[in-house]
Chains A and B, each alone.
Chain A
Amino acid sequence: MAQVSLKNIKKSYDKTEIIGDLSVEIEDKEFVVLVGPSGCGKSTLLRMIAGLEDITAGKITIGERVVNNMQPKDRNIAMVFQNYALYPHMTVYKNISFGLRAAKLSKADIKKKVNEAAEILELTDLLDRKPAQLSGGQRQRVSMGRAIVRDPQVFLFDEPLSNLDAKLRATMRAEIKKLHQTVKTTIIYVTHDQVEAMTLADRIVILKDGEIQQIGTPMDLYNKPVNKFVASFIGSPEMNFITNADGITLGIRPEDIYLADNAPTLEKTRTIAATLILQEPMGAETLLTADYDGTTITVKAPGTVNLAVGQAIRLLLNVGNGHLFDKEGIRV
């Protein structure tokens, strides 16, 4: 059993506060994704759980044990780094077994564990290679192998896919999901990519400036964002915001806006007139960017649409799916 509980965690470097007062409970075997913009403290939080960084105040519990004063190696965690951190002078086998050798396991045990991990990650044929002879995806698999052989209670991932190209990222995303189903351990995964967050997470924790904005399942966050920040962070392309004279903002996603001539019948709608300023065909759909009284509106239109830039268009907003935010950006 390995719940991870963070209670009133604070972190400052000298006098700069990075993390204010943060509490979160992570269930056993849960896949939790921490997302937020660059510099919001995701890595710092993960490194504090790993024990690579001291906490200024608060309590971290892994399983049943308070780990505040424990060395990283005693915390029963494994970590996968963004730049893989594979030792260039060691073979794949040596890289994966490095921690086991440090822990003085017998040669036979080490071999068994490495082979098991290599099997899961399809690395068996690569064990004798050096990291320089591997592709980016293979390197990332090796660094996952190094984590797996430790049999940790908790896996920590810090932006493991951000150095890979888009296609490979999709493949590796699927592999990580598969890995979670195979090894059945708690995973805490840091990313700033909302697609990764949506597809991988059981629950997402959204951070901004070291503060939790919202915790919930991907669909919770998509359907009921608690504030404008969460609303704009989750979903791609970003949600549109239209502010009226009272300062109330209507948030509406690009997929909830239609060209008026071509719209389905909906219950609560509003029609606006705008000018098309950009048309980006993506195949199955075409992204339209329009100007509405100085507000930029993005629309996800069907791929068959073909308009002229500069043309006046009428847009139908599916207000029934919209979100209202007050002056402070809080959901109303």
Chain B
Amino acid sequence: MAEQKIYKKAISVKKTVIWTMLAIGAIAMLTPIIFMFSASFKYSDEIFNLNIIPSEPTLSNYIYLFEETTFFKWLINSFIISTVVTFSVLFFDALIGYTLCKFKFKGRKIVFIAILSTLMIPTEMLVIPWYVLSNNLGLIDSYFGLMFPGLMSGFGVFLMKQFFEGVPDDFLDAARIDGLNEFQIFIEVALPLVMPALSALAIFTFLGNWTAFLWPMIVTTSADLYTIPVGLASFSGEFQTEWEMIMTGAAVASLPTLLVFLLLQRFIIRGVILGGLKG
């Protein structure tokens, strides 16, 4: 009995430590977000006060944002670009990863190494060649210009290839005997088996594009084609910065990211369970 009690106590000490750490982490991460939401309901003269509850809460920032600025357009732009790029990355990266993993052909290793080596080049270095390319092809200030650098990613290929290694070849052979063609096997058999990886890749890609700043800023010139991060930056001018507008825009922009995460996270958790029981 006595031993059991000590044991229980030990657990509760451990739990306390864990919960404390989690709480500290949560506070550190949530504080800026809380201030962001709080500021979005404040008038500009109150913006530098640290009170969390605004003294005179107002929706005027939101109304101004949607009625007087191009913000709604930026939201749509960001949404279209992130979605298209995400679907493109999911499809092509999975297809390339699958091919590199499951088919033997000459030059397979070299192709894989070439793709991996793109991971070692930082975006900052690629921006200039991309710009020259866009300029020559007339892609400046166009959706395609905004999207093309992200339509496939070396990281995604690597991730998908690693996950497909875990898919036994017998699954594919069984489908071949059942009479599916290679593309059907990819879509109907292989892809569902790597759902967790696809979901993770979708989250990374969507969020990465949603928050991307450098390239969208360089390739766009007209405000109609800005994405949210570029648009919000334009609120910060040479002589004054409209903080309440930046905060309101950022607050609106954070909602879809939450949504995407909540939506796809279920697949990751379910996928882990599925994988664990495979036998």
Which of A22-30, A74-82, A296-304 contacts the other chain? A74-82
Q: How many Å from the CB of A251 to the closest CB on chain B?
A: 38
Per-residue CB contact flags for chain A residues 190-216 toward chain B (1 = under 8 Å, else 0) read: 000000000000000000000000000
- Chain B, residue nearest A133 (CB): B277
Contact A50 B177, beta carbon cutoff 8 Å: yes
Contact between chains at A79 and B179 (CB < 8 Å): no
**B179 in contact with A132 (CB, 8 Å):** no
- B192: chain A residues at CB < 8 Å are 87, 89
Contact with B along A35-75 (1 / 0, CB 8 A): 00000000000010010100000000000000000011100
**Which interface class (under 10, 10 to 19, 20 to 34, 35 or more) fits B?**
20 to 34
Please report whether the interface of chain A is mostly helix, strand, loop or mixed according to DSSP.
mixed
B190 to A: closest C-beta gap in Å: 10
Asked if B3 is an interface residue, CB under 8 A from chain A, the answer is: no
Q: Is the CB of A132 within 8 A of B274?
A: yes
Q: Measured between alpha carbons, how far is A106 from B173 in the docked complex, in Å?
A: 24
In the assembled complex, B14 has its CB within 8 A of some CB on chain A? no
CB-based contact A99/B179 at 8 Å: yes
- Range, interface on chain A: 20 to 34
Asked if A73 and B178 sit within 8 Å, CB to CB, the answer is yes
Residues of A within 8 A of B177 (CB): 50, 52, 72-73, 77-79, 99
- The complex places the Cα of A280 from the Cα of B249 at a distance, in Å, of 80
Contact check, B176 vs A98: say whether CB atoms are below 8 A apart.
Answer: no
Per the bound structure, the CA–CA distance linking A136 and B86 in Å amounts to 39
Tell me whether A88 and B278 are in contact (CB under 8 A).
Answer: yes
A82 in contact with B193 (CB, 8 Å): no
Q: With contacts A81-B174, A87-B193, A102-B175 known, what are 8 further pairs, Cβ within 8 A?
A: A50-B173, A73-B179, A77-B177, A79-B174, A83-B170, A103-B179, A139-B279, A146-B178
Residues of A within 8 A of B (CB): 47, 50, 52, 71-73, 77-79, 81-83, 85, 87-89, 98-99, 102-103, 132, 136, 139, 146, 150
Offer 22 A-B interface pairs, CB within 8 angstroms, sorted by A.
Answer: A47-B173, A50-B173, A52-B173, A71-B176, A71-B179, A72-B176, A73-B177, A73-B178, A79-B173, A82-B170, A85-B168, A85-B171, A85-B173, A87-B171, A88-B274, A88-B277, A89-B193, A99-B177, A102-B180, A102-B184, A136-B279, A150-B178
The 6 A-B residue pairs whose C-beta atoms are closest, nearest first, are A99-B178, A73-B179, A132-B277, A85-B170, A85-B174, A81-B170
